Amino acid sequence: MSGARSPRWAELDEGRASLVSALMIALGPLSLSLYTPALPTLVGAFGTTPAAVKLSLTVYFLGFCFAQLLCGPLSDAYGRRPVALVFFSIYFVGSAVALFAPTIELLQVGRGLQGVGAAAGISTSRAIVRDLFVGQTSARIMNRIGLLVGLVPAFSPAVGSILLTVAHWRTIFVLMFVYAVVVVAIVYFVLPETNTTAERAHAHPRRIVGNYGSLLADRRFMGPAALMGLVLGGVYTLPSLMPFVLIDRLGLTPIQYALVMLVQTGALLLGNLLVGRLLRSVNARRLVAVGIAIVVLAGVGFGVVRFFSAPHVMAFVIPGAIWVFGLPFVTPGTMTSALSNFPKIAGAASSLIGFMQMGGGFVGSAIGAAAFGDPISAVDTLLPAISLFAGVAFLFMPRSSAVEGSD
């Protein structure tokens, strides 16, 4: 199949599609990374335990994961725009509940609603790209999206830390609400409806189950989707653990935490820029092997932390930076491979990929909170294990999942 763009929606060229999709997807990472610097503060603010505060992350992951399984098929049935607008409205409600929550329990409810609403960002935006683009063109757009999305969680921990220093922690949710308003305005006024084959039958429960069953049984989908779920699951696990390691255990202030996390930011942006250049001449599928090797190296780096009696901050920051540097090598090829064969159920396919990614983050954060009393032990056990599973998953990924087409 050619890498050329479909002529159905000339309004969205590669650049606009990348920007709109990135802004939609970024709502999820923003809601996570802007919030995580406040986790230790919330323990004292609500007079509760670290486990109860970590549960607010868990319910966010749960809402994000399971809502995707619904909004993707709904976008196949009714279109991308209306579904995105409805789910982003749910995000508004969740932001308001969290903003005014008097108890940790209501904060958890608000975070859960935020997760449900933000889910539409990933599932609908990736489906939009699949509606319009294929092959290497799609891979390039996925890389651009990764670069643009990387800017939001890159700087939001610093913004969150500054807000904690100069204002109340509740202002974090004000900022989330404002960003969501901007995204809704863009979706409403700029985004055309890209799903020209919408069928209401896709919203029938039996059809939803059948479509997901077909995807789960197809190795062309499951190979790259599972691999991406593991790699991104590790990325989503880190924010739930690192504040407790670097702030609580190693004594960094929120501002210092934000500054050292800029090392990971730089690594992610560097990886995206490098991959963007490589995609001009190298098939995206070939870059996946490089990315997995880098992620495994990062896992080894986390694993050796257990041999330090007094680990330094950089013993955690550098492996994290290596991991996110490898992420852009993995994402374009695996995402394009997973979606390329399912144009009529691109929403469901995108949702299932997102479910697996956030599900990895949910499982990682839940295990870290429940099974480990020490956050350092959680990091030097969970991250090496996830990287090992990713390496094994790559070895078993069907070679027919290669990205087709070139420009």
Residue 184 has pLDDT above 50, yes or no: yes
**119 vs 63: CA distance, rounded Å:** 8
> What is the tens place of the pLDDT at every residue in 14-23?
778 888 888 8
318 Cβ contact list (under 8 Å, min separation 6): 263, 301
Statement: the pTM of the whole predicted model exceeds 0.85: no
Identify the band that residue 400 occupies on the pLDDT scale cut at 50, 70 and 90.
Answer: low
Q: What percent of the chain has pLDDT over 70?
A: 94
Largest CA distance in the chain: 61
**160 vs 31: CA distance, rounded Å:** 11
Number of H helices, E strands in the chain: 15, 0
Please, what sign has the CA dihedral across residues 84, 85, 91, 95? positive
pLDDT of residue 305: 77
* pLDDT average, residue stretch 206-233: 90
* pLDDT average, residue stretch 230-242: 84
Identify the band that residue 330 occupies on the pLDDT scale cut at 50, 70 and 90.
Answer: very high
Residue 5 has pLDDT above 60, yes or no: no
Identify the band that residue 399 occupies on the pLDDT scale cut at 50, 70 and 90.
Answer: low
Identify the band that residue 11 occupies on the pLDDT scale cut at 50, 70 and 90.
Answer: low
84 Cβ contact list (under 8 Å, min separation 6): 24, 71, 75, 120, 121, 124, 187, 191
pLDDT of residue 386: 92
**By mean pLDDT, which of 61-75, 200-214, 302-316 is the weakest?**
302-316
| Residue 105 CB burial class (10 angstroms; 0-12, 13-18, ≥19) | middle
**286 vs 190: CA distance, rounded Å:** 35
pLDDT of residue 381: 87
Please provide the distance, in angstroms rounded to a whole number, between the alpha carbons at the two ends of the chain: 10
Output 398 or 109, whichever has higher pLDDT. Answer: 109
**66 vs 77: CA distance, rounded Å:** 18
Residue 134 has pLDDT above 60, yes or no: yes
Half-sphere exposure of 183 (CA within 13 A, CB side): 30
Angle of CA points 40, 46, 49, to nearest 5°? 60
pLDDT of residue 94: 94
**By mean pLDDT, which of 34-38, 86-90, 142-146, 165-169 is the weakest?**
142-146
**91 vs 83: CA distance, rounded Å:** 13
**104, 52 contact by CB (below 8 A):** yes
pLDDT of residue 406: 40
Residue 403 has pLDDT above 80, yes or no: no
**79, 128 contact by CB (below 8 A):** no
Tell me if residue 290 falls in helix, strand or coil. helix
82 Cβ contact list (under 8 Å, min separation 6): none
pLDDT of residue 407: 43
Q: Highest mean pLDDT range out of 45-54, 110-119, 142-151, 334-343? A: 110-119
Residue 401 has pLDDT above 70, yes or no: no
Residue 1 has pLDDT above 60, yes or no: no
Helix, strand, coil share of the chain (percent; to 5): 85, 0, 15
Which structure tokens are listed for 131? 């509606």
The hierarchical CATH code for the domain 14-192+206-401 is 1.20.1250.20
> What is the tens place of the pLDDT at every residue in 267-297?
988 998 899 889 888 888 889 999 999 999 9
Identify the band that residue 228 occupies on the pLDDT scale cut at 50, 70 and 90.
Answer: confident
**384, 239 contact by CB (below 8 A):** no
pLDDT of residue 106: 95
Which structure tokens are listed for 117? 């609403």
* pLDDT average, residue stretch 145-169: 79
